[in-house]
Structure formats: C-alpha cells, structure tokens
Amino acid sequence: MAIGPKEGGRAPNFSMDSTQGPIKLGDYKDQTLVLYFYPKDDTPGCTTEAKDFTDLAREFEKAGAKVVGVSRDTLAKHEKFAAKHDLAVTLASDEDGKVCEAYGVWVEKKNYGRTYMGIERSTFLIGPDKKVIRIWRKVRVKGHAEDVLNVIKSGA
C-alpha cells in the first residue's frame, strides 16, 4: 500500500529541476497545481497523457492551474521528450526518487510475471493553500486530463 498525502492533508514539499528551471511547491502561490506522476518519457501512455494535458493547457491556465509532470527521467530526456512532442506542460525530473517516495507513487509493480519497482501513474490536485484537493491513483490515460480539468472548473 503506497503511503503518501491524503485528500485534505498538506502536499509534501518538493524541489526539482524542470524544463522551466528549478521548481518547488512554494512557487505555486495563489495557484492550483496539477502534479501528475508518470512512468517514463516517450512511451505510448505517457506520451498520450502529456499531449492530453498540453492540448488543455490554455484551459488549465484560465482555471488558474499549472500542470507539472514528474518522472525519474533525466532533465535532458525531458527536454528531448518535450521538444519532440511540442509539449506545453512543465516536466520535472525526480532522478533520486525522493518526490515519488513522498507522494507514495514509487510502488511494486508486476508485468508479465516480473515484479519490479516503478512509478504508479497518479495525479495530485493541490490547492493554493498547499492542501491536496483530490488524488487519482492507477490513472487510466484516456479522458484523464479532461477529468482533472472538470474537477478544477467545478470549484473542488
């Protein structure tokens, strides 16, 4: 069972390098933050998810929200991934896995009978007060970005 923040609880602080330079939780004053964790740059599901958030980037902005995608890929990989797919979301690099651990998304996974540690695709909606409004775990990519946007627009 992954341990991490709970809905209504405080979001764990973070500090990471990103495609927009160094970022930390405190940078998002007076803004809602969509912090989504994904397994790996340039894989089919992760690419679709990043493109879906990119397609809705203006809508998120209008709703007062910033979107940040997090994986353990290097910053150089993120920059290549963002350029290749013309991504409009910030991608943050958690190479040492500390942020993934703090958010409880570094979990044991099974694939074709093989057990390994990896990132569980998850999204955390964090309010301007740095409290977690909503958590989506084991995210299915199709329609996810729209779901998150709708929750923000509904004033959750």
By CB atoms closer than 10 A (0-12, 13-18, 19+), residue 13 is exposed
CB proximity list for 110: less than 8 A, separation 6 or greater: none
CB proximity list for 25: less than 8 A, separation 6 or greater: 11, 12, 13, 14, 15, 33, 126, 130
Q: Which of 25, 46, 70, 152 is catalytic?
A: 46
Quote the distance between the C-alpha of residue 40 and its chain's center. Answer: 12
Through-space distance between the first and last CA atoms of the chain, rounded to whole angstroms: 26
46 is catalytic: yes
| CB neighbourhood size of 135 (10 A) | 17
The single-letter code of the amino acid at 151 is: V
Q: Catalytic positions, please?
A: 46
